[in-house]
Amino acid sequence: MTKLSVNVNKIATLRNSRGGNTPDLIQVATDIQKFGGQGITIHPRPDERHIRYQDAYDLKPVVITEYNIEGNPIPKFLDLVLDIKPAQVTLVPDAEDAITSNAGWDTKKHAGFLKEVISEFKRNGIRTSIFVDPVLDIIEGAASTGTDRIELYTEEFALQYAKGNYEAVLPYAKCAQLAIDLEIGVNAGHDLSLDNIKFFKENIPGLLEVSIGHALISESIYLGLENVVNMYLNRLK
């Protein structure tokens, strides 16, 4: 079964929109795990417009499944991750003003930098993953960085799937198989939803984990958080 890690950034966005502590991010993360979620993902950004750096510390004692912290490895982020020591860190090359992640790493151009950062995390017992586009050369480059896993950037798949172009999954399947051949674990995330997750999972070999936030929280407005978490778990079996 592919594990479900729930990105709670949107809960923090809603909280921040009115100030105060409603909804309670810590309680939501606790409940997601109680409902069956197998991990909690956060993606703090420098402007703290959703997840605050303090949230990362506050979540540590309540995440009893898998704690995954995503972000651009700027010095402040590096210090945060090394201090908290989550189960997994996912490196994402997003610009400070990006609304959401919109590209993966060029693993050949940035091989030296990634190798240095990943080595430091691994010395501290933190599993590493890097966010990548579904390009075979990029997957080959990832192997040289020493990363434990890749996270396939699935926005293009989601866009094409919604248009009925189901062959859009093929580059992802090929990249996943190459990663497996290179002894790299495979994660995926971005715009995966209840509509497309079952198809994606069934066509991606060795898919270990998906990180889902925006769609899952949006679907929960209509269907309820506990129900939606279990709907994802059923589709990921």
- Which active-site residues does the annotation give? 43, 70, 190
Q: In whole angstroms, give the CA distance from residue 236 to residue 187.
A: 13
DSSP secondary structure letter of residue 71: E
Q: Give the span between the Cα atoms of 32 and 83, in whole angstroms.
A: 24
- Identify the bridge partners of residue 150 per DSSP, sorted by sequence position: 130, 186
CA distance 170 to 132: 15
Task: Find the angle CA(59)-CA(187)-CA(153) to the nearest 5 degrees.
Answer: 100
Report the distance separating Cα 14 and Cα 176, nearest Å.
Answer: 34
